[in-house]
Homo-oligomer: A and B are copies of this chain.
Amino acid sequence: MRITPLTELTERSRNLQQQLREQQLDAAILVQNSDLFYFTGSIQRGLYYLPAEGEPIYFVFRDQGRARMESGLCHVVPIDRLASLVGELGRFGVSLPGRAGMEFDVLPVIEAQRYQKLLPATEFVDIAPQVRTVRAIKSGYELEIMKDCALLADRVYEEVKNLLAVGKTDHEVMAELFGFALKQGHQGLIRMRRFNAEMFFGHIFSGVDSAVPAHLDAPLGGLGTTPAVGQGAGHKKIAAHEPIIVDFIIAYDGYLVDQTRTFSIGPLTDKLQQAYADMLTIQKFMVDLARPGVSWSDLYRQCYQRACELGYEEHFMGAGSSRVRFIGHGIGVEVDEYPFIAEGFDDQVLLPGMTFAFEPKAVFPGLGAVGVENTWRVAEEGVKRLTYSCENLWQLPQP
């Protein structure tokens, strides 16, 4: 169990303070679990108050003793209810903010109304893009944790070979594999930031079930076991010679990596083998292009164009009208961080320290899906792999 060092927390607050000054904000008030963990080291219920100048204060409703233990911040302050905030800020000599930033992308309306009522003279604005910008750049400390996640991911993928069998259902394999991953140290919870976006552990699909689209903004959805979840492994039985795609998110010590590999029992058809090789080609193409300064959308367009040249226009990142318009996503504390390797981000560029998952996948309705995914970090000279499991098509012998 890691406790985030104070040096890390200090640097993170400083980076956000720079954003506050650029946005002419007097303070940030952050309350969401992922942001609390990033900026305080703890998710005990409360709020992280960061003035544009000076020290951050972590006000904690519950559990206060535990927040003291988990957070390295100097000011971890018990507070009984939100109404006490004004008085507590006064006690610290902090004047009430004229303009304050909150996480409008995740903050429910009633929570925002409570803060507005408490600080009626304060103008509240959205600070989510700035928070996400700060969080996108990973420190050496964060990369070390993500390397531990990648180690765990490799153990999980080695185990897949022991679990796949003709006649077993996708859901059974998921249950066994997730049980294994938990036992190896997976933290269980996986966080997504986007409203209504949910992710249980990742996806395992065999054959046709890989091509079922879902509500989620993902190339593969899956039928799942109920419309209430509407994604994930279903009760389809695995057959020989069909692609089995395993897309597993490893969560450990608060961080995530995302990895996909394609398996089969008995060899795949030449067409699917070729498609898998072509997805590796697109990955290689990305590696040759990606470096600090390249725009997220330019990287997307060039890789998408490469996929079309290879003949996958109707099959890349989903089939037909179900295709999604991205090939990769930032990852760290949440699955859907900056950067997005997608259209619409021409003014955003890759920077050293960013980490993202890149997941070229080809979907063939009636047949299934093949693809590969790794988590990458942006270094000065280009991108480096964090996840490292063997990238061959894992064609297991047919018993």
Binding site for B on A (CB under 8 A): 1-4, 31-33, 37, 41-45, 62-63, 65-66, 70, 102, 104-113, 126, 128, 171-172, 174-176, 178-180, 182-183, 185, 187-189, 195-196, 198, 200-201, 212-215, 217, 221, 224-230, 232, 235, 252-255, 322, 333
> Which chain B residue shows the least CB distance to A212?
B66
List of B residues within 8 angstroms of A128 by Cβ: 110
List of B residues within 8 angstroms of A107 by Cβ: 108-109, 195
Question: With A33-B196, A43-B230, A230-B44 given, is the CB distance from A176 to B185 under 8 Å?
Answer: no
Q: Which of B110, B126, B253 sits near A126, CB closer than 8 Å? A: B110
Tell me whether A183 and B176 are in contact (CB under 8 A): yes
Extra pairs beyond A42-B227, A105-B108, A189-B198 (18, CB < 8 Å): A1-B225, A4-B227, A31-B195, A31-B196, A44-B230, A63-B213, A66-B214, A66-B215, A70-B227, A105-B109, A171-B182, A174-B182, A175-B183, A179-B182, A185-B225, A187-B225, A226-B254, A228-B254
Q: Smallest CB–CB gap between A195 and chain B, Å?
A: 5
Tell me whether B32 and A196 are in contact (CB under 8 A): yes
List of B residues within 8 angstroms of A32 by Cβ: 196
CA distance A126 to B111 in the complex (A): 12
Tell me whether B45 and A215 are in contact (CB under 8 A): yes
Q: Which of B106, B213, B229 sits near A188, CB closer than 8 Å? A: B229
CA distance A33 to B230 in the complex (A): 10
Q: Can you spell out 29 A-B residue pairs with CB atoms less than 8 angstroms apart?
A: A1-B226, A33-B198, A43-B228, A43-B229, A43-B230, A45-B196, A62-B213, A62-B322, A63-B214, A66-B212, A70-B227, A70-B230, A104-B108, A107-B109, A108-B109, A108-B195, A175-B180, A176-B179, A178-B182, A179-B179, A179-B180, A179-B182, A187-B228, A187-B229, A188-B200, A227-B254, A228-B254, A228-B255, A229-B254
Question: With A112-B109, A230-B44, A254-B227 given, is the CB distance from A189 to B200 under 8 Å?
Answer: yes
Q: Which of B179, B200, B221 sits near A175, CB closer than 8 Å? A: B179
Q: How many copies does the complex hold?
A: 2
Tell me whether B108 and A221 are in contact (CB under 8 A): no
List of B residues within 8 angstroms of A255 by Cβ: 228
CA distance A105 to B63 in the complex (A): 23
CA distance A171 to B183 in the complex (A): 7
Tell me whether B109 and A44 are in contact (CB under 8 A): no
> Which chain B residue shows the least CB distance to A126?
B110
Q: Smallest CB–CB gap between A255 and chain B, Å?
A: 8
> Which chain B residue shows the least CB distance to A106?
B108
List of B residues within 8 angstroms of A45 by Cβ: 196, 215
Tell me whether B227 and A43 are in contact (CB under 8 A): yes
CA distance A198 to B111 in the complex (A): 17
Tell me whether B109 and A41 are in contact (CB under 8 A): no
Q: Smallest CB–CB gap between A265 and chain B, Å?
A: 20
Q: Which of B198, B217, B227 sits near A3, CB closer than 8 Å? A: B227
CA distance A178 to B196 in the complex (A): 24
Q: Smallest CB–CB gap between A291 and chain B, Å?
A: 31
CA distance A111 to B254 in the complex (A): 27
List of B residues within 8 angstroms of A178 by Cβ: 178-179, 182
CA distance A41 to B179 in the complex (A): 29
Pairs A-B, 10 closest by C-beta atoms: A179-B179, A228-B254, A175-B182, A175-B183, A104-B109, A70-B227, A188-B200, A63-B213, A45-B215, A44-B215
